[in-house]
Every structure is written in C-alpha cells, then in structure tokens.
C-alpha cells in the first residue's frame, strides 16, 4: 500500500513539473518580456543571431506588444551609422495567431513597416553591398514547382514612407562616380506572400518616385499592380510619369532560374504618349532634348525567342517602324532587325544635327553568334530616293555588309551631286581594337 502511495506521489510530482515547464515557465517568460528592458535585451539578442553584416550591430530603441500574438519594434538601426550599407526603420509591427503557431507554421497574419530608409553602394565588380551577404554563397535555384515547400508566409504586407538610395559604381574609363538614384515615397500593399523554394506574391499597390539626382532630369513617378507565381511575373498595370513623359505597359514574362538563366515566354505591350527625349538622356546620350515622340511596342514570344514590333511617330512629323527577333539565351546576340524610316528629320532625333533635312529608307540586319567577335551575318541599308541634309542631297544611297567571324566587309554606293561615290572596306578586330584593314574609294563626275 505504501509502495502504491509512493508511486502516486512520484507521478503527481512529475505531472506538476511538466505543468510548470509547459505552462508556468513560458507564462513567466512572457510576463518578463512585458518589461521594456527585458524585451529590448531579448530583441537585441535575437537580431544579433540573424545579423548578416559582420562588424555591424542591429539596434532597437524599444519593443512593445504581448509577444504571444503581436510584436512592435521601433527605431531599428544598423550601427554604426554613416557607413554603407545603411538602413533604418521607424516602426515594424507583426501580428500572428500565436507564438506557438508562428514557430510551427512560420506564418504572419500581417507585417507593417513604416519609415524605412536604406542605402546601397555598388562595388567595382557590380555587386551591391546591401545585398552582398545574401549573394555570397547563393544556393542553386531549382526549377519553379507549384508543389514546392513554402518556408515562410505573410498574409498581408504594408510598407509606408520608404526611401531607397542606390550609389552606382564609378565609371571604369574616367573614374567619375555617377550621381545616386533615389527611390522615394515608396508605398507597397501586398498579400499572399510565399517565400521558400519558390516565391509568390500578389501586389495590390506599388507607388514610388525616382529622383535621378541629375540636373535637368525630372523625378519619375511609378505605379504598378501585378503578381508573381511559379517564376512568372505578371503586371496588370505599370505607369511611369515624369516631365513630359507618360509610359504605360502591361504583360508578363518568366524570370530566369537555374535551368533557364534568361527571360522567356515574354508577352509585353508598352505605349508612350509621349516620351520626351530629354527624359531619356540618362539612358541614351545625344538625343535632341527638345523633341518627343509617341511609341507603341509589342514583345511576344515562346521560350527564349522574342518577336519585337514597334512604331514611333515623331512630334516634328515622320515616323519609324521597327521589327525584329531577339534570342534572350546566351547562345545568340541578335537574330534580325528591320527598320523603316519615312521622312524622318535628323534634327528631330540628334542633338548634333542642326540643318534641315529628311531621311527615308530601310535597314535590315541578320546576325547569329554568341558574341560580336565570333558572329556571322549580313546588313543592308537603302536610303532612297533622296536624302537631304542642309545643302547636300544624296540619291540612291545603298550599303551592304557581310560579317564572318566578327570581320565585316562592306560596300557603299550612291550619288552625291555632282559625284558618284563607291567604297569598299574591311573592318576586323585586332588586339582589342577595331582597325581598318583596307579601303578603296572612287568618285567621278
């Protein structure tokens, strides 16, 4: 009898110990975390475990919330400040069903971020220091699989008052560093975020303003909605406004992965109503800054072959039509390009063109090869019946070129009154420089 009572007492003691471990101790820990000092210490220790930046410390000014179903961090900083990369967040608020459910399912009901500021600097190799710790040893990316396991889930994400600054690397030729690009007034509303072996997100709102920090260039406002699932990015609406430029686009394409390291299955439509050439000066130098054009571009294709068709109507008059086939895989630089010009004024395109004149004609290019150094192809240019520029008039100008393993052999014929002109030339790559091997010219009255 006494032995049975002893066993019951031992069992009762073990039960009490289990209750204390399972209920009382976690409850005590949660109560302790309600103290600001204890909560701040715990948050700092947790952030130190996930800090990817060696020699830097992530600090938190204050922590609030019950920890069981919600948590709020304020004034999160990467210390010391004044160095790149840099980031700071005014407020991070997370809600979840329970702490146990968060650990088990890795799912947040909502994540709200306010007052985000981040700065990234590009190195000579082209990498960005803010992202460098995550790209040091990237795991192989598997082919997108709808059944792939999800590692983390966020039902709703909201980002308010965010600013991102990108400092490009210095020019390799001049050593001069370009002005930074600033993404300001960033606003994001997203839902159904899935992070894991594949990524998925539904983007309800994206608004931002790009400040190029270049004198004369206006800020560019961006608005977009779309989704990402199974490696395919679809944007239902994309609008960019700035200065005298208004661009709208929609479509979809499949992002690169380990099996296909290039864009594929492209289906994109873009309209510019209009595009002001001055707003493109950061991308294309030498355009006439006071001119503009309306554009319509369609890019469609299966796998890695993209068919492009574009039309441009210049504000001064004249129009251009462009069609082509581009292979996005690394095995080819270009398949074909066909350009038709009708009464295009050179000074409507080029800042260096000052005299009046018009150009009409066609250009056809066919090139195959992984690089221009080893490419093969042909090109044909016909400008007819006349090309006028200032006091000069050229009639029936034609040029032909054949490229063989990167070496170009070209012929040129035309009439520049009172002369008939013909030329034959060969251009070949030699010791990293382009050199004319031979050239012959004829002219006659």
Question: pLDDT (tens digit, 9 = 90+) per residue, 104-116?
Answer: 888 889 999 999 9
Q: What angle do CA 70, 75, 79 make, to 5 degrees?
A: 125
Query: What's residue 443's pLDDT?
Result: 45
Q: Is the pLDDT of residue 346 over 80?
A: yes
According to DSSP, residue 24 is labeled: I
205-225 pLDDT, tens digit per residue, is 999 998 877 666 788 899 999
**What average pLDDT score do residues 112-136 get?**
81
**Chain position carrying tokens 């492009």:** 308
Q: What percent of the chain has pLDDT over 90?
A: 24
DSSP E strand boundaries for 45-168:
57-64, 70-79, 86-95, 107-108, 110-121, 150-167
Confidence label for 3 from pLDDT (cuts 50, 70 and 90): low
Angle, helix 36-50 to helix 25-33, in steps of 10 degrees? 100
**What average pLDDT score do residues 393-399 get?**
84
> Is residue 108 within 8 Å of residue 96, measured between CB atoms?
yes
Query: What's residue 86's pLDDT?
Result: 86
Average pLDDT of every residue of the chain: 79
Query: What's residue 392's pLDDT?
Result: 75
Q: How far apart are CA 389 and CA 361, in angstroms?
A: 14
pTM: 0.75
Tally of residues, the chain = 445
Among left, alpha and beta (phi > 0; psi -120 to 50; other), residue 15 is alpha
8-34 pLDDT, tens digit per residue, is 555 555 554 454 444 444 555 555 455
Query: If we measure between CA atoms, which residue out of 135, 36, 131 comes closest to residue 87?
Result: 131
């Amino acid at each position: 009898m006494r032995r049975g009572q002893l066993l019951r007492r031992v069992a009762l003691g073990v039960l009490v110990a289990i209750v204390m471990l399972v209920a009382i101790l976690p409850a005590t820990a949660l109560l302790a975390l309600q103290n600001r000092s204890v909560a701040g210490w715990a948050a700092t220790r947790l952030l130190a475990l996930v800090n990817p930046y060696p020699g830097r410390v992530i600090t938190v000014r204050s922590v609030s919330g019950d920890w069981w179903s919600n948590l709020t961090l304020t004034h999160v900083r990467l210390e010391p400040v004044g160095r790149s990369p840099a980031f700071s967040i005014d407020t991070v608020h997370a809600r979840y069903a329970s702490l146990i459910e968060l650990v088990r399912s890795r799912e947040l009901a909502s994540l709200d971020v306010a007052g985000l500021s981040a700065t990234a600097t590009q190195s000579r190799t082209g990498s960005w220091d803010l992202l460098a710790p995550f790209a040091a040893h990237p795991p192989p990316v598997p082919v997108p699989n709808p059944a792939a396991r999800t590692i983390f889930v966020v039902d709703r994400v909201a980002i308010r008052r965010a600013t991102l600054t990108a400092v490009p690397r210095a020019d390799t030729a001049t050593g001069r560093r370009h002005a930074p690009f600033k993404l300001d007034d960033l606003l994001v509303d997203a839902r159904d975020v899935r992070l894991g072996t594949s990524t998925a997100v539904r983007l309800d709102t994206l608004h931002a303003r790009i400040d190029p920090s270049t004198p004369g260039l206006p800020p560019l406002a961006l608005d977009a909605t779309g989704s990402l699932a199974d490696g395919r990015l679809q944007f239902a609406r994309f609008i960019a406004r700035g200065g005298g430029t208004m661009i709208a686009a929609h479509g979809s394409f499949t992002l690169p992965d380990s099996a296909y390291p290039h864009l594929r299955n492209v289906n994109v439509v873009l309209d510019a109503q209009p595009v002001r050439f001055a707003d493109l000066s950061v991308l294309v130098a030498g355009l006439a800054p006071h001119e503009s054009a309306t554009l319509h571009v369609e890019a469609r294709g299966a796998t890695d072959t993209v068919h492009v068709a574009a039309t441009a109507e210049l504000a001064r008059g004249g129009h251009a039509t462009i069609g082509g086939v581009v292979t996005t895989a690394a095995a080819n630089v270009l398949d074909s390009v066909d350009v038709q010009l009708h009464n295009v004024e050179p000074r409507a395109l080029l800042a260096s063109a000052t005299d009046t004149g018009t150009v009409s004609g066609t250009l056809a290019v066919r090139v195959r090869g992984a690089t221009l150094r080893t490419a093969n192809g042909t090109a044909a240019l016909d400008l007819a019946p006349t090309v006028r520029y200032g006091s000069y008039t050229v009639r029936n100008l034609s040029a032909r070129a054949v490229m063989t393993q990167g070496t170009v052999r070209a012929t040129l014929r035309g009439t520049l009154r009172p002369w008939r002109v013909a030329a034959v030339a060969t251009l070949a790559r030699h010791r990293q420089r382009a050199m004319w091997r031979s050239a012959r010219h004829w002219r006659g009255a």
